[in-house]
Structure 1
C-alpha cells in the first residue's frame, strides 16, 4: 500500500504545475537503475517558446525533450531564471534528499503547498540563448534534489511583442523515465510558458487641438491576451478550478489601461469617452464604427488621480474581452490643451497592465486596483508628440525708401480652409487653401464671418513693431501615431504615421493672418496673409527684425472730394480700398506666393 501511495504522490510532485511534467514509479529493472544515484551528474534544461504548444500525444511535457514541432512559436532569448535548491522545512541546513523516501515525502509536502519555499538556497542564475534554452548543470550529485525555479526577467521583446514572466514552479532532479518507467532521468527538460503581449499603441488625435483650450483625444489600443478557456470559478479556498467551457472574466482576471498626462494638459470630464473592441487586423486609430463590441460604462471604472487616468475593466467588460481574445481593446482619453512648454513639445506615453494567465489551483488574483508589483510588468506604449509654436511678426510702414516699426497694429489668426481633390486613395493631390471670410475658422471651427466668432489668437504689435501669437499647432505636424503605414514604408511611429508624415500625406494645416486694426496713418492690409507655422517653441526671437515682416502703406489722405464724373469714380475707388480691411476676401493656392 505504501508503494502505491508513493506512486500517486510522486506523480503529483512531478506534475509540477506550470512546467507540466509527469512522473511514474519505476517498473522492474536493474537495481542500479531503479534507485536514485546520489552522485549522478545532472542537467536541468529550461526551454522557452512563445506558446501555446500543440496538443499532440507526443507533446505533453513529461521531463523529456519534446520535438520542435510541438511548438507554434520560436524560442525566446533573454529569459533569466533563478534556480533555488530547497531544504527540509524543519531543517534549514539540509537539502531535500531525493535518494530517500523522506526526501520525496518532503517534496510532496512542498508541492501540495503550492507556495514559494522559505528554506531555499540560490544555486545558479541562467539565461536563455537564441534557441530559447538555458541549462543548469551539476556534477558528483550536487544537482540531485528539489528545486524552486523562478523567472526573474522575461524574454527580450521581439517584433513589438513583450512577454510576461512564467509562474514559478517546483521540479525534481531526477525524474522517472516516462517511456520505460524502469530508470531515472538525470537530464530533465522543463517548458515554462510565456504569454506574448503586443506593446500597446498610442495615437494623438490632435488635428483640432490647434490652440490653447482646444480638445485633444489620445487613443490607446492593446491586444487582448490570447488565454482562452483556462479556468473556471474559484473554489472555497480561493483557488481556481479547471477549464469550465466558458471564456470569461475568470480567464482574464484583471486588465488596466492608464495614461499619465503632461501638466500642460487639462483632463476633461469625462476623462474617458469611449471603450470598444476591434478586430486584430483593424487599424484602431481610425476604426471607430466597425466594432466587434462597445463596452458600456458599467463595464469599466475610470479613476483620476492628479494627471493619471486609470481605466479598470470590470467583470462584465473582462468577459467581453475574454470572448474576443486576440482582438484589440481601444480606449479614448479626453484632454484639452492648457499651456505649451518653451520647447513647444508635449510628449506622452500610456501603459497597459494585463493579468497573467491563471492556472488551475492558483490563488484567486482578481484585482480592483493596479497591483504594486504586477506579475506581468506594465506594457509601455510608443511616445506621441504634440508640437506647437508661435507666429512672430515685424510690422513696418514704408514711405519711400524708409521703414518705420508700427505700434498697436492688431491682427487676428484663423485657420485656412484646405481645398483640393482627393485621389483614388483618399489623399489630397492638390493643396489649395482659402482665406475667404466664410472659409476661415476660429475657435471651435466657427466661420470667421459668423457672429460671436473668436479668433485662434490675437496679435498686437509693440513699439518695436514686434508681435507674437499665442501657441498654435505646427502646420507640418499633427495626428502623430494615427493611421498604419503601408508594409515596408520607412520611418513612422510604431508602424504608424508620424505627425510629419501625416502632414505630408494630407497637406499642412495653414493659417490666415488678418489685420483688423491699422496703425495711425497707414492702410489696412487688403487681404489676409496665408502662412505655415513650421518651428516649434514659444521663446521670443532674438532680433525682432528677423520675424515675419509685414509691410503697410501710408494712408492716402489727398483724395479729391469734389469735381466732375472722373473725380467721383476715383473717390468710390478710394472707399473700396480703405474698406478692404473689413470686407477682405482672399483665395490662395500653392501657385500663389505665400508670405510665411
Structure 2
C-alpha cells in the first residue's frame, strides 16, 4: 500500500524515494509530487522544505529509519542562488559562489510540530500521515489540530561565520523554522516560515543532517538628503527646503511591500511647513500617504511620511520616492549650522541618508574715527551678495546703522553646506555719521566662513574708519590795531638799523 507523502519544498526538484512491495514483488520508484505554492515557499528556492501553506508529496516509509535524533544545518546567505537544494550540503563551487556572502547574527526559532497536542513522530506511519497534512498556516494558527510544542525539540539558533547555524540532537519529527531576528543585516524580505522534517528522505535513504539554504533580500539602496541653497541670509523667518530621495529596494518574489516610511527628526530650531511626495517625479495622491504631525508643525518636530496600502501597491523595486520638506527658521540659536538626516524604512529594513547642512555666520561691523579711533554711531550700511568679481549684486540682503558703540551685526549669513565652505558678501557704507566724510570707495568684500575655531557662531569682524569733514576758514587771532602796531614796530626797527649803518660808514670816512 502506498504511504502518504512527506512534506517537501514547493519548487524543489523531484526526489525519487523507493518503496518495496512485500512478498518478493519488484521494487518500484515513485516521483516526488509538487506542492501548491505558499506565500513563503518560493523564498526557499534553495532547499527541499515545506513553504508557507505548502503540503507534501513523497512516499516515504519509516521502516528503515535508524536512530532517534538528527541535525538541522542552516546556511544563511544574501545572494541569488543558481541551483535548487535537496537537503544535502551544496558543494559545487559555482553554486556556492551564487549564494553570496554569509549573513552572521540571523536568529531562528525551531519548534517541533504537534498534532492533537502530541509531537509528530516520524518513526511511525501515522506521523508521516500527519506531516502530509501539515501547512505553515495551520501550525502557526493552531488550526486543524496542529500546533507547536514547548517540549523537547524546541530550539533556537543564530548564524555565525559564513552564515552557518547548526542545531543538533533534534528528536525525529516535523519542525517549524521561523526567522525571528535579522541581527545587524539590513534584510528587506526575510525568509517566510517553513516546515522541515528530521530525517529527510533522499533517494531511498534518509538524511539525518538536513541542510537548508533560506535566503534573504537585503536592502542595499542608498537614500540621499540635500538642502537647497537659500540664496540669502539665514535669518529668523527664512525658509530652508530639504529633499529626501529614497529608492525602493528589491524584495523577494513571494514577498510584498508591507511598509515604507521616511522619517526626519528636525533640528529644534526649524519649524516644518509643508511636504510634497512623488514617485519617479510624479506626485502621489493624498490617499497614497500620510504625514504626521499635521503641518505647519512645531519647532523640532519629527516629520514622518508613511505610504498607505494604496501607495504601497503603486511602488516597485527601483522606483524613487522623493519627499520635499519645507522648513522655517524659528531661531538662530547658539550654533552656526542646521543639519538633519532622514531614515527610510522598508519592511523593517532601514537606511539612513547623509546629513546635509546649512552653515552660516555673522558679520560684525566696527565703525571708528580714523584719528582718535573712537567709536562712531550713525553710520549706515547695506550688505549685498558678491558676484564673481567681488562687486555687489542684486538688492541688499540687509541694512543697518551702527549703534553708540560703533557696532552693527548682520546675523545668519549663509556660508555653504560643508564645514570648509565660505561665501563672499559686499559691505557698502551708504551714509557716513554726521560730520564725517563718506569714503570714496565705500564698499569692502567680506568673507563668511562655515568653520570657526574661536566661537560657536562664526563672526567676521570688519573695521571701517571715517575722517572728519573740514571746518570753515577761521579769522586770524587778534584785532586790526594790534596788527598795525606790529607793522609799525617792524618798520621802525628796520629804519633804525638803516640810520645806524649810515652813521657808521661816515665816521670811517
- Normalised TM-score (structure 1): 0.61
Contact 1:144-1:174 at 8 Å conserved across structures: yes
Cα deviations by residue, 1:500-557 (Å, 9 ceiling, x for unpaired): 57x5xxxx43112222443333233532221111155899899xxx962413222323
SS at match of 2:262: strand
Q: Is the contact between residue 7 and residue 197 of structure 2 (CA under 8 Å) also seen in structure 1?
A: no
Alpha-carbon distance change, 127 to 523 in structure 1, aligned in 2, over 3 angstroms: farther
For the pair shown, which has the larger CA radius of gyration, 1 or 2?
A: 2
What's 2:447 paired with?
Answer: 532
Matched, 1:311 2:305: yes
C-alpha deviation, 1:315, in angstroms: 6.0
Give the conservation status (yes or no) of the 8 Å contact 1:86–1:147.
yes
Counterpart Cα distance in 1 of 2:319 and 2:472: 74
**Mapped contact 1:200–1:221 kept (Cα < 8 A):** yes
The 1-side partners of 2:430 and 2:377 are apart by: 14
Question: Over the residues paired in the alignment, what is the CA RMSD in angstroms?
Answer: 3.9
Which of residues 25, 36, 43 is equivalent to 2:58?
25
Name stretches of at least 5 consecutive residues in structure 2 with no aligned partner: 10-31, 50-55, 142-146, 475-509
Q: Which residue is 2:4 aligned to? A: 4
Q: CA deviation at 1:47?
A: 2.0
Query: 1:414–1:456: 8 Å Cα contact kept in structure 2?
Result: yes
- 1:258 and 2:263 matched: yes
Relative to its length, the structure with more strand (as a share) is 2
Secondary structure (helix, strand or coil) at the match of 2:3 reads helix
Cα deviations across residues 399-432 of structure 1 (Å, max 9, x unaligned)?
A: 1xx3112234343322222x3xxxxxxxxxxxx3
TM-aligned CA deviation for residue 101 of structure 1: 4.3
The correspondence of residues 32-47 of structure 1 with structure 2, limited to 5 A, is: 34-35=64-65, 37-38=67-68, 40=69, 42-47=70-75
CA deviation string 1:220-247 (max 9, x = no partner): 222222248647xxxxxxxxxxxxxxxx
What's 1:343 paired with?
Answer: 335
**What residue number does 2:323 align with?**
331
Q: What is aligned with 1:128?
A: 160
Shift of 1:459: 4.5
1:194-213 equivalences in 2 (<5 Å): 194-197=216-219, 198-208=221-231, 210-212=233-235, 213=237
**Count of equivalent residues:** 421
TM-score by length of 2: 0.70
Q: Are residues 539 and 101 of structure 1, via their aligned partners in 2, closer, same or farther at CA, if it must alter by over 3 Å?
A: farther
CA deviation after TM superposition for structure 1 residue 472, in Å: 1.9
- The within-5 A match list for 1:265-414 is 265-269=270-274, 271-272=275-276, 275-277=278-280, 294-297=282-285, 300-305=288-293, 306=297, 307-313=301-307, 318=312, 320-322=314-316, 325-355=317-347, 376-399=348-371, 402-414=372-384
3-state SS of paired residue (2:263)? strand
Distance in 2 of aligned mates of 1:47 and 1:80: 10
CA, structure 1 residues 382+88, in 2 after alignment: closer, same or farther (shift >3 Å)?
same
Name the CA distance, whole Å, in 2 between partners of 1:266 and 1:527.
Answer: 38
Write out aligned runs for 1:466-505 (5 A).
466-474=407-415, 477-478=416-417, 499-500=418-419, 503=421
SS at match of 1:98: coil
Distance in 1, matches of 2:232 and 2:127, equals: 68
Matches of 1:349 and 1:326 in 2, distance apart? Answer: 22
